[in-house]
Amino acid sequence: MIFDFPLASRKRKVAFLLTFMTLVVITLGRQTGYLGTYVPIELWQVATVYLVASIVLNLVRFFTITAYRKRSQLPVGERDNFVLGVDSLVALIVFVVTAMSLFSIFDVAIQTFLTSISLFAVALVLIFRDYISNFLDSFRLMFSTDFQIGDYIKVSEFTKGFVTDISFRATKLKTDNGDILYIPNTKLITSEVVNFSKTKFKRIAVPFTVPTSSVINVTAFEEGLKRGLQKAIPDLVKEEKMYLKITNINDWQTVFSFEVSVDHYNFSIEERVAKLVYQLVLSEQAGVQLPETVILRK
């Protein structure tokens, strides 16, 4: 069947079917002359162009996205940068075709129209240049592999989260606290961004300071920290990927850095690791064994 696209969502199938039925109704109404009674026929012509362009381009989109989903094994309903880019490109082309049909149907010379509004257009560009730049940068993000849907990124020192959507206006981030942030695409393009999802592992460094007089056996101290973390988060850390580093020593204090490499990183994991390390350090300094129930608490 013409509407049978197994890798297209039900919502898009219904929208495509409604568009097709609307085109059929308008075509039949124009042939009978009934539609031109209340609304100028030119407007129905524009509507027809819009519907035809939408149907043709969505058919192309269906075949393109279906082939892409099969090749990349992307489930129905999930979107990545390529799908977002194709959807936005289809919407843009439909808009341009419809706008061009307005000039043709109403017999307006495009060159004359552009000349008459040239000064106004320049003023609009100057006023809305940031919006235009943001619009163009959105395409760069949509067809880019630098930041993809689902990637965990850091845009500034305190802005971290998962990319959940990219639109013409902004990129949507979901933080570890569940907050939703909208970052302008131009800012994302021009800023320094750390993409943690692109690295094979992430090293977490937890600095702390203890009195030098209390440091008797560094090796035993390191082994105690390793055992404590392995009990608490065995699914995240491995013994060979943890080590204790001494960064500075003076008469009254010693500065350490306990470093852990994790394969799956986000801010919550880093915060959890740091909290566990500090708990273990405090328990060592107090000379007591941290209860296992405390260590295992998430």
Q: What is the pLDDT of residue 291?
A: 43
| Structure token pair of residue 115 | 């000349």
Nearest to 138, CA basis, from 186, 86, 90, 92: 186
| Contact indicator for 239, 227 with CB cutoff of 8 Å | no
Residues of the chain with pLDDT below 70 are: 1-9, 33-39, 108, 110-128, 199-201, 265-266, 285-298
Residue corresponding to tokens 């979901």: 174
Amino acid code (one letter) for 43: L
- SS3 (DSSP) at 161: strand
Q: What is the pLDDT of residue 292?
A: 43
Amino acid code (one letter) for 198: K
Q: What is the pLDDT of residue 169?
A: 81
d(CA 36, CA 244): 82
Q: What is the pLDDT of residue 124?
A: 64
Q: What is the pLDDT of residue 87?
A: 86
How many residues are given for the chain?
298
Query: DSSP assignment, residue 242?
Result: E
For the chain, the domains span 10-107, 117-197, 202-295
Q: What is the pLDDT of residue 179?
A: 87
**According to CATH, what is the number of the domain 117-197?**
2.30.30.60
pLDDT single digits (tens) 213-246: 877 788 888 888 888 888 888 888 887 888 888 8
How far apart, in Å, do the first and last CA atoms of the chain sit? Answer: 52
d(CA 276, CA 284): 12
Residue corresponding to tokens 């491995």: 238
Q: Would you identify the CATH topology of the domain 202-295? A: GMP Synthetase; Chain A, domain 3 (3.30.300)
φ, ψ dihedrals at 41, nearest 5°: -60, -25
